[in-house]
Structure 1
């Protein structure tokens, strides 16, 4: 079964769009790294909240992706724009529309 990750992050005021751009800038290599689905969403009711939904071939693929130079660079760029308020949920993905 695939590994799923759903997380939220809160940005400092007026920086949500910038963080979204950072999160979406490094998607080119995700499929090769084992990512099956990567979706960045923003809250309609909270102007500083971002949701990230990911599905990976395995947890190991996800963990390895966090060590990629481009991922490390994106994290370093985004961190000063975040408040430090995060949530995360790890899941076992059993199927659904959009997954191979």
Structure 2
């Protein structure tokens, strides 16, 4: 089965990026036990004070889809929603490299 990856982008409401990042990082245990998640890393954008970038690598597209139905993930999304102005990202196909 082919691995699945995304570069996600969350734009926080003005001045809310640190709070959004804090909430997401406090809930990082939610993904630590998530079946099929190889890595999920949160990054602050250096050029925009409201943007967070997320790099995700999953064992499969199905594992990622299952995570979005997980009770803990849905609860985290609900708690963070009021801080998010925009969400998006791009899907990519990993082909190799260190850590792959």
TM-score (norm 1): 0.87
Alignment of 1:35-50 (within 5 A): 35-50=37-52
1:96 match: secondary structure:
coil
Alignment of 1:46-61 (within 5 A): 46-61=48-63
Gaps of 5+ in 1: none
Higher helix share: 2
Q: Distance in 2 between matches of 1:21 and 1:70?
A: 16
Alignment of 1:1-100 (within 5 A): 1-31=2-32, 32-83=34-85, 85-99=86-100
- 57-66 or 29-38: bigger deviation: 29-38
Show CA shifts across 1:33-78 (max 9, x none).
Answer: 2111111001111100010110000011001011111101110011
TM-score (norm 2): 0.87
Q: How many residues in Structure 1 have an aligned counterpart in Structure 2?
A: 98
2:31 match: secondary structure:
coil
2:6 match: secondary structure:
strand
